[in-house]
Amino acid sequence: MIDEWLLDSPDDSVRGMLLELLERRYDATSTVFCTQYAKKDWHQRLGGGVHADAIMDRIVHNTLWIETGSTNMREHTAMTA
């Protein structure tokens, strides 16, 4: 499990580990990603480059995306408090 998906930019070792994990799980079992970041930003947050390409390739294909909306609950809560 990776906490705080893409909160910090992963270094090469984390990208390598993530790629290996996704490769082993691909077409074998489910992987769930929960994040406040738009999927269009994931590639850049993964550092761009070849590792990011490979990681995104494994995430994007055979995927069920569930969008929960664009409301930022921190901002919503701050405005209502």
Whole-number pLDDT of residue 3 = 52
Task: Compute the radius of gyration of the chain from its Cα atoms.
Answer: 14
The CA-atom distances, in angstroms, between 63 and each of 8, 32, 78 are 24, 10, 33
Return left, alpha or beta for 11; rule: phi > 0 is left, psi -120 to 50 is alpha, else beta.
Answer: beta
| Whether the Cβ atoms of residue 19 and residue 51 lie closer than 8 Å to each other | yes
Whole-number pLDDT of residue 1 = 46
Start-to-end C-alpha separation, the chain: 34
Which regions of the chain are under pLDDT 70? 1-4
Query: What is the chain's length?
Result: 81
| Domain spans, the chain | 12-80
